[in-house]
Amino acid sequence: MKTKIIPFIVLLVFMSSSKSWAQSSQNTDNVVLILIDGYRWQELFHGANLKLLTNSKYNSMDSVQRLKQFWAEDLETRREKLMPFTWNYIVKHGQIYGNRTLGSKVNVKNPYWYSYPGRAEVLSGFVDEKINSNDYGINTNPNVLEFLNKQDDYQGKVVTFACWGATGRCLNKPNSDMLINVPWENIEGDNLTDAEVLANEIQHFAPKTFGDVERLDFEVYALAKSYIKAQHPKVIYLDFGDTDEYAHHGEYDHYLLDIQNLDAMIQNLWEMMQKDPFYEGKTTLMIVPDHGRGLENQWTSHGAWCPHSDETWMMVMGPDTKPMGEIQNQQQIYENQFAATIAKLLGFTYTARGRTIGAPIKSAL
- What confidence score (pLDDT) does residue 330 get? 79
**pLDDT tens digits, one per residue of 14-27:** 343 444 434 446 89
Three-class secondary structure of residue 235 per DSSP: strand
Strand partners, 333: 106
What pLDDT is stored for residue 22 in this prediction? 41
Contact 187, 226 (CB under 8 A): yes
- In the structure, what pLDDT confidence band is assigned to residue 199 with cuts at 50, 70 and 90? very high
> Which pLDDT score is estimated for 25?
63
Asked whether residue 169 carries a pLDDT value surpassing 50, the answer given is yes
Neighbours of 308 (CB within 10 A): 17
pLDDT of residue 331: 85
* Residue pLDDT, tens place only, 130-159: 999 999 999 999 999 999 999 999 999 999
Report the residue count for the chain. 365
In whole numbers, what is the pLDDT of the chain averaged over residues? 94
Nearest CA to 239 out of 337, 164, 339 is that of 164
Question: DSSP string of 288-333?
Answer: E-S----SGGGGG--STTSTTTTEE-EEEESTTS---EE--SPPPE
Supply the pLDDT for residue 16: 39
Backbone torsions φ then ψ of 289, nearest 5 degrees: -100, 180
Distance separating alpha carbons of residues 22 and 315, to the nearest angstrom: 24
Q: Is the pLDDT of residue 121 over 60?
A: yes
**Calpha distance 43→356 (Å, rounded):** 33
Percent of the chain with pLDDT over 90: 92
In a 10 Å sphere around its CB, with 0-12 CB exposed, 13-18 middle and 19+ buried, how is residue 46 labelled? middle
How do residues 247-259 score in pLDDT, each as one tens digit?
Answer: 999 999 999 999 9
pLDDT at 308 exceeding the cut of 50: yes
Q: Is the pLDDT of residue 4 over 50?
A: no
The reported pLDDT for the residue numbered 87 is 98
Is pTM beyond 0.85? Reply is yes
Question: pLDDT band at 359, cuts 50/70/90?
Answer: very high
d(CA 259, CA 271): 18
Give the E-state strand segments of the chain in sequence order.
30-36, 94-97, 106-107, 158-162, 179-181, 235-240, 283-288, 311-312, 314-317, 325-326, 333-334
Residue 165 CA, chain-centre distance (Å), reads 16
Q: Would you call 261 exposed, middle or buried from its count of C-beta atoms within 10 A (0-12, 13-18, 19+)?
A: middle
Return all residues near 185 (Cβ < 8 A) that are at least 6 apart.
none
CATH of domain 32-364: 3.40.720.10
The Cα 38–Cα 170 span in angstroms is 17
pLDDT at 232: 98
Residue 276 pLDDT > 90: yes
Q: How far apart are CA 95 and CA 333, in angstroms?
A: 13
Beta strands in 27-84 (DSSP E): 30-36
pLDDT for res 317: 98
Task: Work out the average pLDDT over 285-311.
Answer: 98
pLDDT of residue 213: 86
State the pLDDT at residue 8.
44
Cα–Cα dist 37/110, whole Å: 16
Does the bond joining 313 to the residue before it have cis omega, within 30 degrees of 0?
Answer: no
**pLDDT tier for residue 171 given thresholds of 50, 70 and 90:** very high
Lowest mean pLDDT of 20-24, 25-29, 115-119, 192-196, name the range.
20-24
Is the per-residue pLDDT at 221 higher than 80?
yes
Contact (Cβ atoms closer than 8 angstroms) between residue 283 and residue 318:
yes
Q: Is a pLDDT exceeding 70 seen at residue 122?
A: yes
Q: Are 101 and 45 in contact (CB under 8 A)?
A: yes
